[in-house]
Structure 1
Amino acid sequence: MPIDFSLTEEQKQLQALARRFAREQIAPIAAEYDQKEEVPWQIVEKLHEVGLLNAIIPEEYGGLGIGMLEEVIIGEELAWGCMGIYTIPMASDLGITPILLAGTHEQKERFLRPLTEKPALAAFALSEPGNGSDAAALRTRAERDGDYYILNGTKMWISNGGEADVIVVFATVDPAKRHKGVVALVVEKGTPGLSAHKLHGKMGQRASGTYELVFENVRVPVANRLGEEGEGFKIAMNTLNKTRIPVAAGSVGVARRALEEATKYAKEREAFGRPIADFQAIQFKLADMYIGLETARMYTYYAAWLCDQGLPHAQASAVAKAYASEIAFKAANEAIQIHGGYGYMHEYPVEKLLRDVKLNQIYEGTNEIQRVIIARNLLKE
C-alpha cells in the first residue's frame, strides 16, 4: 500500500473547524485568562457546542469517535490559540482513555455518555506529592470493604481535578506490592470525602485548572473499578502511551505559533535602515524553527498513525512527546530573541508561549522518563 501524506476531506473539515475556533474564540482571550488564572468555562461550553469536546468517545456512547490522527490535528490548532486552554480538553481525553481501554460496556455507558450530553470534563489522577515519575510508588490506599473500596490519600498536579465530573484514580491495595498492587477506580464528582484544592502560582498554562485532590474515607463501589486488582498500573501506562501523542500535537501548535509570530515581527521591525528579516542571523533562526516544526509534526502524525493502526506505538509516542516539546520550547525561546526586549513583555504573546510549553516537557512523563522508555526499548531490541 502506498504512503499517503494527504488528509481526508473529513480531516480537513475538522482542521478548519478547530483552526477557526482557535482564532476566533481562544486566541482573543488567552492572555486575559492566563493573567487571571481562571478556567474559561465559556470555551468549554463552546467546544461542546461544536463537537470538539470529548470527541474521542465512540459514537456508541454519544461521541464522535475520532481517531488519534484526528485528535492530533485538532490539538495542534487549539494549542496554537493557547496551550493552557487546550490542556483542558486534552486532560479530559486523558481521563477518558483508561475507561475506553479497560472499562466494560456498562461502565462506558455510565461514565462516558454523560460527558457527551453536556459540557463536562474528565480527569486522570496518578501523581502524588511524593512521587511523579515513580508511578508504582503510590501511597493513596484503596482498602476493600465488601462492595466498596475506601480511598485515603492525596493526588497532586491533577488537571481538571476540581472541574471534572469523572476522575480515574490510581491507588494501591498494598504499597509493598508496588505496580502489582495498583487499582484503577472511577470516582464521581461530589463523592463524600473528596476535596479539591486549586494550585496557584504556576509558571504557565494558567488557564487550565491544576489541583491537589484529597481523599478522606471516600467510598467507591467495586463496580467502579476498571479491570481487576493489580491491573491499574498497566492501565495507567497504556493510557500514557496513547495520550503523550496529543501532548506532542500541542507542542507542534505552540511551535507553529512561535514561528508565525517571529516571522511577522521580523518583517515589521527595522534595524540599520531595513527589516531585521533581511539579516541572515534572523533568517537562520526562522529556518531552524521551520525545520523543527515540520519534523515534529511529521513524527507526531506517524505516532498517531501507529496508534490508529493498532500497532506498537509506545516508542514513537515517547519520541514524539520529547522531541516536539523540546522543539517547541526552543522555537518559543527564539521567537523571544527575535522580538528582543518586546518579547520579554506581556504586550506580545511570545513570552507566554515559552511559559506554557515548558510544562509539555514535564507532564505525562518528563522528557527524561521518555528517554528511559526509548533506551529500554532499544536495549530490548
Structure 2
Amino acid sequence: MADKQLKVFTREEVEKHNTDGDLWIIIDAKVYDITRFKAMHPGGLSVLTDPEIAGQDATDAFYGLHRHEVLERPQYARLQVGTIKDEQPAIVARVKGELSKVPYAEPTWLSEGYYSPYYKDTHRALQKALREFVDEVVYPDAQAREEDNKRPSLSVIDEMAKRELHAMRMGPGKHLKGRTLMGGIVKPEEFDYFHELVITQEFTRIGARGYGDGLQGGVIIGLPPVINFARPELRDRVVAEVLSGKKFISLAISEAHAGSDVMGLQTRATKSEDGKEWIINGTKKWITNGTFSDYFTVGCRTEEGLTVILVPRTEGVETKPIKTSYSTTAGTAYITFDNVRVPVENTLGPEGGGVFVILSNFNHERWVMCCSSARSQRAIVEECMKWANQRKAFGRPLASQAVIRNKLAGMIARTESVQAWLENVTWQMCNMTYKEQAQKLAGQIGLLKMYSTRSAQETAQDAVQIFGGRGITRGGMGRFIEHFHRTVPFDSLLGGAEDVLGDLGVRQAIKAMPKNARL
C-alpha cells in the first residue's frame, strides 16, 4: 500500500460507515471501503449489508469463506483505506521462501527442534534455495497454466536450466560432471538421492498435479534410457539438448493394449531391406509430455524381442492431446507411428534387450513418485489443520470435534510413515550399487509406492469430508483439496498400478525366503 496514505480509525468511527451508500468493514485490524465493490461481491449484496458485517469486524466471517491470498490481490488490496488505532494484524500470511510453522506442514528434518541423520548442510542449503525459487518463479506459472491448460512457460524451463535443475532431477551420476548446481550450493560429486528428494518435494508444493507432470515429467522418465544405453554420439547430443531445456522428451511405453503388462506391447519395429533403419508402426497412449516432445523413448516389438528405440518427432509421428482428470498442461498424448523411419543407431541397448532397459528405469521412476506423493499428502495435512482451526460449526471450531481430530490423526500418521519409509529407502539407495538396488529395492519401492498412493487416496477422502462442499469446488477455500482429490489417482496408476506393485513386492520377498524357514 505504498502508493497511498492509509489513515488510522477507531472502531467507533468505522461503525458509522454501515449503509448501502457508505459501506466499510474491518478485517484483521485493516479497514476496507467496499462501497463500490459490494455489487460485484460473488456472495451477493445482502452478505455485506448484514448488520453483523456492515461497519463491523468481519474477520471471522471473511476467513470462514475466503483464503488469505484474496486480500493480497491488487484489485482487493486497493480497497483498504486504513487501519484500526492501537491494533496490529494478527493473521500472518505465508511468506514466500519461508518454512511453515503449522505442525506437520514440513517434514521432521525441517521442523524446528527436530533432528535427522540423513540430511547435511548442502541438503538444507539446497532446500532453502529451492523453496525461494519455486515460490517466486514456479508457483505463479503453475497456477496460471492450470487455469489456461497451456504447457509450462518456457521462461520457467529456461530458469531451471540456468540452475541445472533438469540435470539434478535425473539423480546422481556422471551427467552432473562439470555442471554448476544451483549456483554452486552442492558439488556434482556430493549430489545424492537426498538432494534429489529435496528437489522433487519442493516442486510438489505447487499443488498443481497436471503442471507438475508437464514441468519436464517426461524428461525424468524418458531421458535415463538415453543416458544409460544410447551410443555416445547420440547420447551426448540429445542429453545436451534436453538438459538445456531446448528440446523435450517422453517415455512412450504404455498402449491401449498394454500398461503394466510391458510384454504385451504391440507397437512393432522392423528393419529396412538394407538394415540401416527401423520402420515403426503402432500407437502409444497416456504419454506424459507427448504433445510437445521432440523425442520419444519408444518400446517396440522386434524380431529379437522387446527393443527400445529413440524416435525423434519426424514424418509419420502424430500426437493428439488426451483429456484426463487433470489439466492438459501435462501434455498427455495419444501417439501414432505410421511407417516412421529412424536409424538403427537410435537403438537404446541391445536389440531384444528392451525389458532390461525399461525395467532399469522403473525403480527410480517409482521412487520419484513416492517422493512426490509424500509431500503432496503433507500439503493436504497443512490445509486441513488450518481449516479445522478457523472454520466454525455448531458455534465451535471444527478441531473441537473428536471425529475431525480422528481424521487429522489418520492423515498425519500416514504422511509421517510414508516419509519415514521413503527416507529409509533413500538411504539404502545412497549406499547401494545400482545392481544392489535392483536386487534388493525393487520390491520395497513397489510396496512403498503402493502404500503411498493408497494412503494419499484415503487422505484425499478424509480431506473432502473435513472441507465439506468446499472440498469438491474448484476455486475458493477448498481448491487444493478438490484438486488433490481429483488428481490423486494418477500416482496410483503411473509407473505401475497398485496391485501390480504390491504383488511385485511380495514376489520379491517370497523369492528371498530361506528354504529352511518354518513356523
* Match status 1:345 vs 2:473: yes
From 285, 289, 306, give the equivalent of 1:182: 306
Gapped runs of 5+ residues in structure 2? 1-114, 182-187, 513-519
Counterpart in the other structure of 2:50: none
1:372 aligns with 2:503: yes
2:442 maps to amino acid: A
Query: In structure 2, which of residues 127, 145, 156 is the aligned counterpart of residue 15 of structure 1?
Result: 127
Which of 67, 86, 91 is the aligned partner of 2:212? Answer: 86
The Cα shift of 1:61 comes to 7.8
- Secondary structure of the residue aligned to 2:326 is coil
Q: What secondary structure does 1:167 align onto?
A: strand
Cα gap change, 1:209 to 1:144, in 2 (>3 Å): same
Quick one: which amino acid aligns to residue 148 of structure 2?
K
CA deviations over 1:311-351 (Å, ceiling 9, x no partner): 32211221221111222222222222111111111122210
2:190 is the alignment partner of 1:59: no
Say yes or no: does 1:325 pair with 2:453.
yes
Within the candidate set 318, 324, 340, 1:195 is matched to: 318
2:378 aligned with 1:253: no
Any conservation in 2 of the 1:95–1:124 contact (CA below 8 Å)? yes
The equivalent residue for 2:254 is: 127
Structure 1: where are the runs of 5+ without partners?
A: 175-179
Mean alpha-carbon deviation: is it higher for 112-121 or for 209-218?
112-121
In 1, the alpha carbon distance for the partners of 2:233 and 2:177 equals: 12
* Deviation at residue 206 of structure 1 after TM alignment: 4.1
120-129 or 57-66, which moves further after superposition?
57-66
State percent identity of aligned pairs: 26
Aligned-partner Cα distance in 1 for 2:195–2:329: 24
Q: Tell me the SS of whatever aligns to 1:128.
A: coil
Structure 2 Cα separation of the partners of residues 135 and 345 of structure 1: 37
- Code of the residue aligned with 1:6 in structure 2: it is Y
Question: Out of 136, 147, 153, which is 1:24 matched to?
Answer: 136
Q: How far does residue 163 in structure 1 lie from its aligned partner after superposition?
A: 1.8
Q: Specify the code of the residue in structure 1 equivalent to 2:213.
A: T
Q: Rg larger in 1 or in 2? A: 2
The answer (yes or no) to whether the contact 1:35–1:206 under 8 Å persists in 2 is: no
- TM-score (normalised: structure 1): 0.91
- Tell me the alpha carbon deviations over residues 53-75 of structure 1, each in whole angstroms, 9 at most, x when there is no partner: 24227124858565433222211
Kindly provide the amino acid, as one letter, of the partner of residue 158 in structure 2.
E
Q: CA 1:74/1:136 → structure 2, altered by over 3 Å: closer, same or farther?
A: same
Residue-by-residue CA offset, 1:45-96 (whole Å, 9 max, x unaligned): 3332333224227124858565433222211221121222222333311011
> In structure 1, what is the Cα distance between the partners aligned to 2:409 and 2:246?
41
Using the alignment, how far apart are the partners of 2:318 and 2:370 within structure 1?
A: 31
> 2:163–2:180: 8 Å Cα contact kept in structure 1?
no
- Stretch deviating more after TM superposition (299-308 or 156-165): 299-308
Aligned-pair distance for 1:269?
A: 0.2
Is the Cα–Cα contact under 8 Å of residues 83 and 254 in structure 1 kept in the other structure? no
Structure showing the higher helix proportion among its residues: 1
TM-score (norm 2): 0.67
Deviations 1:33-53, CA, capped at 9 Å, x for gaps: 334332222433333233322
Counterparts in 2 of 1:62 and 1:220: CA distance versus 1, 3 Å: farther
RMSD (Å) for aligned C-alpha atoms: 2.2
Shift of 1:266: 0.9
State the secondary structure of the residue aligned to 1:53. Answer: helix
**Partner amino acid for 2:511?**
K
- Structure 1 residues 23 and 357: CA distance shift in structure 2, 3 A: farther
- Over residues 212-270 of structure 1, what are the superposed CA-to-partner deviations in whole Å (9 max), with x where a residue is unaligned? 11111111111111111111111101111221001111111210111011111111101
